[in-house]
């Protein structure tokens, strides 16, 4: 999933500004490749890359609801064709901004952080239109009109924190903010959400004149009616996957790639967009993503050479030494090089605070603590993921490097956080709150101690839906269920496809109870301050979590550049458990030895324009 977004204030600001400058420098197009570049480079060729099982694109319109808000749809699909205003996760292993890959130059802040001037580079769309100021205004107007439909929305966030948005030149946008914000936070978490859209999309029917939909020139005077109509049209077009390759809407691209073929099974091929304005231009002829039903099918294809880029399933990796990153031996042989693939985020499963049966349970902190106590993160990391995983204890990413955002509470107990694995502690905690083991399941005996809304005789039982296809993930779920049962927590696990679980685990659906289907990658909110997930009413707050203190702490991270401010939020999120944190594994990717330019950014952005073969 896509996934969010600091007293020594002046010192902290200086540090963050330096980070931003380094980010821009490190994300240049001349950055080194993970794979060596020995041999003579050749132009052309087809690169075939594996997708994770059931993790396939199914939405082309960059303006997405939570149902479609996934890496498969954004970083691995849309970003190749439609470039965000500011591009994050370039051809490096740093989760940072890349101005060379962005459609605009660095934003200029003034007036104490209340005014931003954005100058676009004048790139071109494939139909000849310029990627200009109007394209940015078009997106912002749609955010105004369909705020709750945008999965990245947060109450009080962009565009609600704008007092005005104006095209002050053909290639210049000036934004006035309602109050001063941290420029790092605003760039990384607010401007990062903008994807310019061409006037060819500002229509309400196929064949209509570009811009005739009127969203770009719309206003609140008509309650954004024109934008709503355009949004409805584009959404309907995105639902028709059969038109993705030929549609006069979706074939207008500004990225380095355009679609060659697409089907709903997940087979997707891209060819170079000859009118791409940025750099580098693609060197290979075709980039193909292929789906697999499970890990074993993918691994078989990798070993037989059918894939140029693929992953080695955890079950097929040798046990890793504690201090190593890569395996000591290469399971797929000398024809491939290996590289680690971290995620800039954290793993968790969602709990539905609005479910009428188990919502009252989940609203009790001690219940959530018990659920965290029975998660053997270190054991699962070793037994299931063979050492290629690490505990997650809060929202700050622990890898790929020791993040400056991570707080003391996340790292206590030897990295296990405030709730280290103990089924005994979990059971004792429940008993101290009025529960008693009956027939192997904890049952509320004293409602006054169990908590508001929990009735006498209610059992601690719920259903946990999880995504299928990856054997290690299935094993992790089974171990969690088993360990939970030792504390009297009865979990029914139900395997479904990723799309099914993600589509049902939304705040407007009270039926689901628990949902375990992956992790949160901080995108398009790249400073991990949590508003997308934890803020009341946020677009990606699938479990409908709400906590006034959490909202207050998140708000503080948006205006302060002090790490101490962030750590206060992070500690609170680690202790309060808005969701249940789980271990996060990192992948081991295999790359054909004659394929170069392949790096694995922790934001999971595909950049095949850097790829090339040698002979």
Model confidence over 574-598: pLDDT tens digits?
999 999 999 999 999 999 999 999 9
Q: Has residue 133 got a pLDDT over 50?
A: yes
pTM for the whole structure = 0.83
pLDDT at 93: 78
The CA distance from 281 to 284, in Å, is 9
* Chain centroid offset of residue 407 CA: 21
pLDDT at 402: 62
CATH number, span 104-253? 3.90.76.10
pLDDT confidence tier of residue 38, bands split at 50, 70 and 90: low
Q: Are the C-beta atoms of 5 and 573 separated by less than 8 Å? A: no
Q: Has residue 13 got a pLDDT over 80?
A: no
What is the average pLDDT across 470-478? 94
Q: Has residue 24 got a pLDDT over 80?
A: no
In the chain, where are the structural domains located? 104-253, 345-585
Q: How many CB atoms lie within 10 A of CB 609?
A: 26
Q: Could you tell me where the DSSP H helices lie in 307-438?
A: 359-362, 365-373, 377-383, 408-411, 423-432
Average pLDDT for the chain? 91
Of the listed ranges 84-98, 345-359, 465-479, the least confidently predicted one is: 84-98
Q: Are the C-beta atoms of 396 and 563 separated by less than 8 Å? A: no
Q: Has residue 295 got a pLDDT over 50?
A: yes
**345-585 architecture in CATH?**
Roll (3.10)
DSSP 272-292: E-TT--SSSPP-SSEEEEE--
Of the listed ranges 108-122, 197-211, 394-408, 553-567, the least confidently predicted one is: 394-408
pLDDT at 577: 98
Q: Has residue 10 got a pLDDT over 60?
A: no
Q: Has residue 572 got a pLDDT over 60?
A: yes
Q: Quick one: what percent of the chain has pLDDT higher than 70?
A: 93
pLDDT at 519: 87
Q: Are the C-beta atoms of 582 and 349 separated by less than 8 Å? A: yes
Q: How many CB atoms lie within 10 A of CB 148?
A: 10
pLDDT at 530: 86
pLDDT confidence tier of residue 279, bands split at 50, 70 and 90: very high
What is the average pLDDT across 190-210? 98
What is the average pLDDT across 591-615? 94
* Chain centroid offset of residue 223 CA: 31
Q: How many CB atoms lie within 10 A of CB 474?
A: 18
Angle at 21 between CA 138 and CA 121, to 5 degrees: 35
Of the listed ranges 222-226, 315-319, 396-400, 454-458, the least confidently predicted one is: 396-400
Q: Quick one: what percent of the chain has pLDDT higher than 90?
A: 81
- Residues near 465 by Cβ (< 8 Å), separated by ≥ 6? 493, 494, 495, 496, 500, 501, 504, 505, 512, 513, 514, 515, 516, 517
pLDDT confidence tier of residue 463, bands split at 50, 70 and 90: very high
Of the listed ranges 7-21, 149-163, 220-234, 459-473, the least confidently predicted one is: 7-21
């Amino acid at each position: 999933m896509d996934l969010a977004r600091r007293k020594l204030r002046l010192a902290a600001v200086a540090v963050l500004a330096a980070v931003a400058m380094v980010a821009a420098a490190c994300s240049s197009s001349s950055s080194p490749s993970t794979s060596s570049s020995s041999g003579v480079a050749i132009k052309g060729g087809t690169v075939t890359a594996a997708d994770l099982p059931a993790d396939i694109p199914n939405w082309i319109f960059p303006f997405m609801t939570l149902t479609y808000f996934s890496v498969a749809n954004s970083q691995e699909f849309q970003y190749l064709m439609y470039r965000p205003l500011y591009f994050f996760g370039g051809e490096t292993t740093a989760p940072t901004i890349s101005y060379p890959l962005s459609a605009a130059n660095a934003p200029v802040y003034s007036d104490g952080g209340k005014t931003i001037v954005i100058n676009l580079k004048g790139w071109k769309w494939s139909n000849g239109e310029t990627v200009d100021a109007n394209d940015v205004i078009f997106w912002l107007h749609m955010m105004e009109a369909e705020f709750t439909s945008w999965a990245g929305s947060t109450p009080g966030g962009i565009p609600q924190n704008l007092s005005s948005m104006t095209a002050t030149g053909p290639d210049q946008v000036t934004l006035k903010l309602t109050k001063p914000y941290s420029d790092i936070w605003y760039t990384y978490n607010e401007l990062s959400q903008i994807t310019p859209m061409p006037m060819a999309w500002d229509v309400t029917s196929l064949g209509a004149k570009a811009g005739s939909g009127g969203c770009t020139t719309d206003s609140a005077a008509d309650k954004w009616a024109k934008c709503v109509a355009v949004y409805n049209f584009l959404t309907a077009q995105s639902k028709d996957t059969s038109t993705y390759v030929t549609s006069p809407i979706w074939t207008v691209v500004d990225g380095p790639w355009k679609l060659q073929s697409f089907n709903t099974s997940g087979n997707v091929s891209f060819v170079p967009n000859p009118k791409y304005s940025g750099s580098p231009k693609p060197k290979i002829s075709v980039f193909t993503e292929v789906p697999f039903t499970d890990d074993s099918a993918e691994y078989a294809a990798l070993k037989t050479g059918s894939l140029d880029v693929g992953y080695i399933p955890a079950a097929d990796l040798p046990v890793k030494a504690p201090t190593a990153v890569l395996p000591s031996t290469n399971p797929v042989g000398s024809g491939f090089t290996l590289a680690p693939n971290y995620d800039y985020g954290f793993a968790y499963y969602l709990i539905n605070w609005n479910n009428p049966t188990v919502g009252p349970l989940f609203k009790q902190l001690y219940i959530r603590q018990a659920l965290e106590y029975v998660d053997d993160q270190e054991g699962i990391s070793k037994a299931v993921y063979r050492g290629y995983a690490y505990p997650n204890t809060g929202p700050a990413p622990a890898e790929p490097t020791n993040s400056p955002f991570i707080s003391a509470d996340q790292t206590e107990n030897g990295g296990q956080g405030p709730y280290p694995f103990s089924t005994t502690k979990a059971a004792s905690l429940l008993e101290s709150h009025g529960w008693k083991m009956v027939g192997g399941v904890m049952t509320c005996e004293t409602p006054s101690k169990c908590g508001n809304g929990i009735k006498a005789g209610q059992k601690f039982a719920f259903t946990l839906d999880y995504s299928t296809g990856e054997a290690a993930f299935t094993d992790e779920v089974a171990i969690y269920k088993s360990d939970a049962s030792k504390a009297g927590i009865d979990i029914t696990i139900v395997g479904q496809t990723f799309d099914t679980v993600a589509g049902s685990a939304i705040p407007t659906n009270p039926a689901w109870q628990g949902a375990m289907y992956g992790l949160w990658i901080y995108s398009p909110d790249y400073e991990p301050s949590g508003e997308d997930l934890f803020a009341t009413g946020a677009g990606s707050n699938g479990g409908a979590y709400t906590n006034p203190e959490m909202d207050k702490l998140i708000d503080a991270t948006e205006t302060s550049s002090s790490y101490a401010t962030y750590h206060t939020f992070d500690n609170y999120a680690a202790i309060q458990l808005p969701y249940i944190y789980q271990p996060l594994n990192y992948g081991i990717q295999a790359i054909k030895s004659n394929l170069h330019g392949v790096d694995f950014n922790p934001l999971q952005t595909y950049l095949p324009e850097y790829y090339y073969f040698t002979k």
